Structure 1
Amino acid sequence: MRFSALVAFLSAGTMFTSATYAQNAPTAAPASKPEIGSFGFDTAGMDRSVAPGTSFYDYASGTWDKTTEIPADRASYGMFHKLIDRSLEQTRTILTEAAAKPGSKVGDFYASYMDEAGIEARGIAPVKPWIDALKAARTKDVLVREAARQQALGMGGLIGTGVGQDLKAPDTYIVGISQSGLSLPDRDYYLKDDPKFATVRTAYQAYLAKLLKLAGEPDGEARAAAVFGFEKSIATAHWTRVESRDADKTYNKWTFADLTARAPGYPWAAWQQGLGLAPQPSYVVRQPSAVTGEAAAFAAAPLAVLKDYYLLRVLKGSASYLPKAFDEADFAFFGTVLAGTPQQQPRWKRAVAQVSGSLGEEVGQVYVARYFPPESKAAIDQLVRNVTAAMADRLDRLEWMAPETKVKAKAKLAAFTPKIGYPDTWRDYSSVTVARDDLVGNVARANAFEFKRGLNKLGKPIDRGEWFMTPMTINAYANPPMNEIVFPAAILQPPFFDPKADPAVNYGGIGAVIGHEISHHFDDQGRKFDPTGKLADWWTPQDVERFKTFTDKLVAQYSAFEPLPGQKVNGALTLGENIADLAGLTVAYAAYQKSLNGRPAPVINGLTGDQRFFLGWAQVWRTKTREPALRQQLVSDPHSPGPQRVAMVRNLDAWYAAFGAKPGDAAFLAPADRVRIW
């Protein structure tokens, strides 16, 4: 599986009214008040003392930014988080009602998470059998067999394993193998000579030592240092995130014999047995040299260090479900040190997130019935068609793409499957056992269910109805091997869309999001998949070269942004998302213009239709982020920070016409420097 989400995190009401281009044509201000402001945009959040050409983010959101405090339990806060809070509250209602009736699977799961007294009383007993099994291993083969069994329960492992589409045979499933095994966000945290990262490394080792002490293990500091040293050796072998996003370089078919020959030193047979994975004719290895390096690091490590490495994966993986001391130690490092968050979220929020992740579609059925009426699904369908039609128009007008490639691109667009709101067929969790007094077991059994569900796909037809997000998720994604775009129900609300808001704001919000996801199928990696979803070379060499001239300019443009002193946006890492933002804005603007049917948009609150469109885009990306979390994002996230996503408007000529940005303004780009792809 390879998909691109709108935002990196994965986590109601009335949504779209049915619309065509003619029905969307605005002739007057909205007849009734929308949820935000008087026309769908929060003008009070603007800072009109800042010229749009100086900083469009500050002009559109400067007052909001100055007056908004990041909640103590968050690393960042913005429009997405506001919707997440709404989704959590709505889902909490569903789960508390279910918990009042013992025997409800989702209700019992929620109750088990909220049972703090019971969790304290049980101590580490729920994970002790796993720890004891690891300690009992007398050989590396036995250790890996047990660790792989625990990996299938959600503990994580040295070798990443999953089942997904074979990118070059997209009608079949295959086992994928990838680099894994690190607990810090990126290899840079282990390897980069930077005082900030050095501080994190020290705190991480102290955290590992504390977990060992809480588990009653002696010599915690020395053992933690040894485990860190092992993880550092893994990090040395890891590919960078830029290398790992290349669809061609990460497609490498190996047989089992290749695994043992090219990555010697790791007990592959024991790994396969522990996972419950039957022998496969081939595997796709995403980062070959990294897997080879990880196997070498494993072979070089003493058995005692490897036991501690896996033991700590159990403690880290279960810390949120263990007594308060474990939970607090886990948050103190991952929440406060890594993200700068002062306070942990209320337990109910974490419980809702856990149940939604473990039994997502069972919760989702109730969520959809309560918060997402059928007319909303039909209406967003129409808007997707509008934006898709605008993309088709843009493809027709491209001057840089060869005619024969255009034909295939149009065929790919015509073959799109949009998924709106929720799946047609709900997942069956009847085989998952849930107990009100066994949180650790509930999580492990739900993880085992999902892992086994993946293995059961092997040898079967592709399930084209499968969803990889729940209806309660505030996000969206594109999946090129499936040739699909997916919009969960919960994102289809203000500020992305409000049926009572001005259409210009809606097109700048959800319209640009739709365009973003559509265009992921044509970004620097998505373009490599043909209309059937196959990883194939279907562009002419000249198309590829011309496309690269545009994307190189976008890389340079974004690499110049410096959100933190000394730390810039990685334009190569964020390229795919930046292409999608540029294309999403371009296509949504074209769709908005077409919706006017040649009539001028009304002026509302002194703002033209084009101005309101771009303000709608800016409103979606209002975001404040704590410095440690922003540092982590710049290192590991393929998405640019919110203010820099807003700055994409600098590439659209229509933005200059709307706001009068001129040479000499900080945000001004000369026409020759503006990136125009679609």
Structure 2
Amino acid sequence: MIKHMMLSGAAVLAVAAAAVPGIAQQAGPAAVAAKGKPQLGAWGVDLAGMDKSVNPGDSFFGYANGNWARTTEIPADRSSWGGFGVLRDLSDQRTREIVEAAAKANAPAGSVQRKVGDLYNSFMDEAAIEKAGTIPLKPYFAKIDAIATPSDLARAFGEANRMGISTPFSAGVEQDLKDNTQYGVYLGQGGLGLPDRDYYLDDSNSKFVEARAKYQTHIANMFRLAGIADGEAKAKRIYDLEKKIAQTHWTRAESRQIDKLYNPVATSALAQQMPGFDWAAYLKAASLDRLPQVIATQPSALAGEAKLAAGEPLAVWKEYLTFRTLSAAAGMLPKAISDENFAFYGTTLAGTPQQKDRWKRGADFVNGAMGEAVGELYVAKYFTPEAKAKADVLVQNLIRAMDARLQKLEWMAPETRAKARAKLAAFTPKIGYPDKWRDYSALVVRSGDPFGNSLRATEFEYLRQLNKIGKPVDRSEWGMTPQTVNAYANPLLNEIVFPAAILQPPFFDPNADDAVNYGGIGAVIGHEITHHFDDQGSKFDAKGNLAEWWAPSDVERFKAMTAKVVQQYGEYEPLPGSKVNGELTLGENMADLAGLNIAYDAYRLSLSGKDAPVLDGYTGDQRFFLGFGQVWRNKYRDPLLLNILTTDPHTPGHFRPNVVRNFDPWYKAFNVQGGKLYLKPEDRIRIW
């Protein structure tokens, strides 16, 4: 949920920006004083959702959310449900209002409003989509059929990269990790149809084995529905090829090590270092042929995939590309194909019984194609200046609290501590929405052409990214739209970013008690701040460049402490037989741990030395922790939970409140003297 933004193709930390304000002075409680009635309860917490029969020391999630978890059903079109889901539904409804109004407006041709409306209308015209069938794909299938040489295959992979179609090689634009004043092109592993290499290679989990069989059935069904013969045999060959690709891939935990992802290679040397693939043909087809170098993120995987490109039969690669193209286009194709695609990716892999209503998918489509155009209308209607101002105060207090912690950090050498404070002082917080909006004038949208609109939108974004190369870095760019319910930290720009849509209850309510807001959005803000100091974010200096700025002794002490985080989270078992991967989730778990600490400090600072009033029998500290606990109310379907435990750097949401067990004030607030979460004071993890 709350996460580092990642460039999906190249798997490097992504981008956004803004002008850099100074660190604000302390704002007292009056600056965030509640006005009006909060959305939840009398002061911002859903008391009816709690289960006071649960000992907080046994399950703080159960105590804060037990009745909610017991009485809440996951909607049929969702694989999980909780605070994020509620807000995403709200964001969908608001997006629908915006795009449907645009669709009915009959705005001038070429205007942003007309493009938004035509995008939505074209997707919603199911009759036209049924009539067209798979005809829109025929030119692309014909090009695949015409592949006759290894160079043709490389060109096809390059063209697929432009079209957003997954192949073993994925190229994308991002700032250079060691010189973030310029952009580079990153080349990374890709090409799997199942979520991760473990789905192909781990024989110990029966669910993985089951998913493999169902995946092959899915491939065969897709071919059959597209009128392509011999689907079962093709499915077996495609699966076998993908398994070989999976064997070359780095693990998710390995791909988290950001310094290991930085491997510049001269384009002229690619053929020597990764032989078997026509890199020149690939780069030219992907419009990347003028580059002096690319940055390889997983060099051994790329070399292995290049070898497969040379060693596997062209006929199988053509079958593979045909399926990848069909799969990528499924949402724009007739209902039978769309439903089959959902049956596998939505139901088999995520457990979701029912596909989302078409209008929701239409809203997703428009958000994906012209998200900032929708976002500009969204914030004008739904994000008040007052909410932004109060969020600004919270961010400023959190940064102050982090600085206070850095000043007192005993385990870090003074010179490293000074550099850490300088990095914090250089932070750019970005709240709500970008300062300037994206220009969509070059995007061609045609009424009644959903498939073409999808392709053109993908290529528009691809070329927009390519156009950055050789130009100054745009520090005003955002990596999420305002209507996205999420937040992120971007170490390349030394920034933290909070879209408007997450600045709502249960995360943030301008009318709620301060304690609840600090425990909710405050902990989220703290989480993103401390990502810049987690095991990967700490590898970036104050300018946002990958650099070694820690004393070696600090690094060793830090690793010893993070090893305890890995061990603690690695003991959690959300599914029988499937535990949290402590290495994969380390950064997020550290951010939860440190973020809660600085959110609590900021809350205490906001009180200016006074005691918070008791409300309905709950102290300020109790309300703070309840605000935190209810932010993470989540329920999951088992297939999605397995997917998360395999691929996601986040610990499942209903285990994230467990972080309180490392926090002394939580024990005092709820008089926790034992229980399943209890840790002796000397065993509690304290880092920042």
TM-score bracket for the superposition, by shorter chain length: over 0.9
CA distance in 2, matches of 1:382, 1:99: 38
Give the 3-state SS of the residue equivalent to 2:174 in structure 1: strand
Alignment of 1:65-464 (within 5 A): 65-102=69-106, 103=109, 104-193=114-203, 194-464=205-475
Question: 1:140 offset after TM fit, Å?
Answer: 2.2
The AA in structure 2 aligned to 1:50 is: V
Deviations 1:464-511 (A, max 9, x none): 111110010000000001101111111111111111111000000011
The AA in structure 2 aligned to 1:83 is: L
Deviations 1:288-330 (A, max 9, x none): 1010111111111101100011111110000011001110100
Question: 1:23 offset after TM fit, Å?
Answer: 3.3
Verify the 8 A CA contact 1:151 1:275 in the aligned structure 2.
Answer: yes
| 1:669 and 2:673 matched | no
| 1:654 and 2:665 matched | yes
Q: Structure 1's 336 and 646: CA in aligned 2 closer, same or farther, altered over 3 A?
A: same
Give the 3-state SS of the residue equivalent to 2:243 in structure 1: helix
Deviations 1:557-610 (A, max 9, x none): 000000111110001100000010011100000000111111111111111110
Verify the 8 A CA contact 1:528 1:537 in the aligned structure 2.
Answer: yes
Q: Tell me what 1:22 maps to.
A: 28
Question: 1:212 offset after TM fit, Å?
Answer: 1.1
The AA in structure 2 aligned to 1:42 is: D
Question: 1:661 offset after TM fit, Å?
Answer: 1.2
Q: Pick from 68, 71, 87 the counterpart of residue 64 of structure 1.
A: 68
Q: Tell me what 2:19 maps to.
A: none
Verify the 8 A CA contact 2:220 2:234 in the aligned structure 1.
Answer: yes
CA distance in 1, matches of 2:489, 2:444: 33
CA RMSD of aligned residues (A): 1.7
Verify the 8 A CA contact 1:19 1:379 in the aligned structure 2.
Answer: no
Could you list the runs of 5+ residues in structure 2 that have no partner in the other structure?
A: 9-13, 15-23
Question: 1:21 offset after TM fit, Å?
Answer: 2.9
Give the 3-state SS of the residue equivalent to 1:170 in structure 2: strand
| 1:4 and 2:40 matched | no
Q: Pick from 464, 468, 477 the counterpart of residue 479 of structure 2.
A: 468
The AA in structure 2 aligned to 1:67 is: T
CA distance in 1, matches of 2:591, 2:418: 21
Q: Tell me what 1:13 maps to.
A: none
Question: 1:142 offset after TM fit, Å?
Answer: 1.3
Q: Pick from 36, 59, 62 the counterpart of residue 40 of structure 2.
A: 36
CA distance in 1, matches of 2:357, 2:172: 32
Percent identity over paired residues: 55
Q: Tell me what 1:597 maps to.
A: 608
The AA in structure 1 aligned to 2:149 is: T
Give the 3-state SS of the residue equivalent to 2:492 in structure 1: helix
CA distance in 2, matches of 1:515, 1:327: 40
Question: 1:374 offset after TM fit, Å?
Answer: 2.7
Question: 1:150 offset after TM fit, Å?
Answer: 3.0
The AA in structure 2 aligned to 1:170 is: N
Q: Pick from 597, 607, 630 the counterpart of residue 586 of structure 1.
A: 597
CA distance in 1, matches of 2:419, 2:683: 29
Q: Structure 1's 24 and 657: CA in aligned 2 closer, same or farther, altered over 3 A?
A: farther
Give the 3-state SS of the residue equivalent to 1:514 in structure 2: helix
Q: Tell me what 1:54 maps to.
A: 58
Question: 1:378 offset after TM fit, Å?
Answer: 2.8
Question: 1:156 offset after TM fit, Å?
Answer: 2.3
TM-score (norm 1): 0.96
Q: Tell me what 1:14 maps to.
A: none
Question: 1:190 offset after TM fit, Å?
Answer: 0.6
Question: 1:380 offset after TM fit, Å?
Answer: 1.6
CA distance in 2, matches of 1:229, 1:272: 27
Q: Tell me what 1:508 maps to.
A: 519
Verify the 8 A CA contact 1:506 1:616 in the aligned structure 2.
Answer: yes
TM-score (norm 2): 0.95
Question: 1:25 offset after TM fit, Å?
Answer: 8.1
Q: Tell me what 1:559 maps to.
A: 570
Total equivalences in the alignment: 665
**Higher mean displacement: 332-341 or 211-220:** 211-220
The AA in structure 1 aligned to 2:271 is: T
Could you list the runs of 5+ residues in structure 1 that have no partner in the other structure?
A: 11-17
CA distance in 2, matches of 1:265, 1:300: 8
